[in-house]
Amino acid sequence: MPFSHLLGHVHQLDLLSRAVARGSLPPSLLFAGPDGVGKLTVAAALAEVLNCETPTTRAIGGAGGASDGVDACGTCRPCRRLARGIGRLRAGDGAALDCLRLVVPDERDSIKVDVVRAVIAASAYKPFDGRRRVVIVDGAEALEVGAQNALLKVLEEPPAGTVFVLVSARPDALLATVRSRCSRVRFGPVPTGALVEYLVTRRRLDPAAAHAAASQADGSLGVALARAESGPDAARAAAGDVLRHVARGDGVSARLAAAQALIAKGDGGRGGRKGAGAVTRAEVTARLDAMAALLRDVQVHSTRAGDRALANADLAAELGRLETAFEGERGTRAFAAVDRARFALDRHVNHKTVADWLAFEL
């Protein structure tokens, strides 16, 4: 996919485009930033630019691009081959392309030294299907220490015609010696407005649903697409049940019902039935994100700022009912508690324990 077709990251794309045009692209790069914001997609697009037979000059970053720069045409044979190949690589076909190698963590969330050595050995030869080879290590923080040490020499002096791109949401987990050999490109969240526009114009999503999905995505296109695909209703229903249980009173039974609502299957735990089963960690995370959005909207609703400022504008009446319980200081404490619960889940604390703790903190 050409740079000009990508969402957001105008400054980063402009930087890469100009470096390619000048022939000054560093041979070792570190793409650092939150999960799901498009770092891997940009790395794949870089491979397309480097191998395009008929590169063009256009506004990088789309209509709102910072300036004109070199970009892939998107239609020549190498561009089409790379566009097809990246899909196969993501599906696990490691031999899909020679000019684009993708290294990902294994099922144990680790990248071992043997995998790295095999890629380094292959990089010693000119790619047979392109002019430049791009080696992408996605989730580079999963590199074992031995694998990182094996990379040191090749990162400092990569083979001619080869570019290494380490992609990481936690770059500080890498050895300092690895980081020092790479030019870092920092990626931030995609603006909510850009996510909404993408979902409406390219995915033909209803504006209200697009706004709800984008508002819960923390600037991640991947999360926004997942929210849009599944729809906000299930996660919001569960989050709303939790807040309603807590709003009804401070009794132990209400708190326990709220905890069960957060981890119950099916309809979001209505009624708090223990027999309803338990959701996955990812589903609990989605419900916490939805709860944070609802609590934020309660505060916005209390200011009478208008429905346009709400992430869940279709629930304005429900927000008004929750306002009595969660406006002001309690709402602020509740929002902070949800954030701490999300932090605990990210560090693999048992989600039932998180649900019980959160129910008594709201």
* pLDDT for position 45: 93
Q: Distance (Å, rounded) from C-alpha 220 to C-alpha 198?
A: 12
For the chain, which residues score pLDDT lower than 70? Answer: 59-68, 91-96, 230-233, 266-278, 305-308
* pLDDT for position 92: 66
Q: pLDDT (tens digit, 9 = 90+) per residue, 9-59?
A: 888 999 999 899 888 999 999 999 988 888 999 999 999 999 999 998 876
* pLDDT for position 272: 41
* pLDDT for position 232: 57
Neighbours of 16 (CB within 10 A): 26
Indicate the residue type of 212.
A
Q: pLDDT (tens digit, 9 = 90+) per residue, 171-197?
A: 999 999 999 999 999 999 888 888 888
CATH 3.40.50.300 fits 3-186, yes or no: yes
Task: Could you list the beta-strand ranges (E) of the chain.
Answer: 28-32, 56-59, 68-71, 100-103, 133-138, 162-168, 183-186
Q: Distance (Å, rounded) from C-alpha 362 to C-alpha 356?
A: 11
Q: Which of 254, 253, 273 is nearest to 265 (CA)?
A: 273
221-230 vs 192-201: helix axis angle to the nearest 10?
Answer: 50
User: 133 is written with which tokens?
Assistant: 């080879």
The domain ranges of the chain are 3-186, 192-230, 233-361
Task: Give me the DSSP letters along 262-283.
Answer: HH--TTTSTT--GGG----HHH
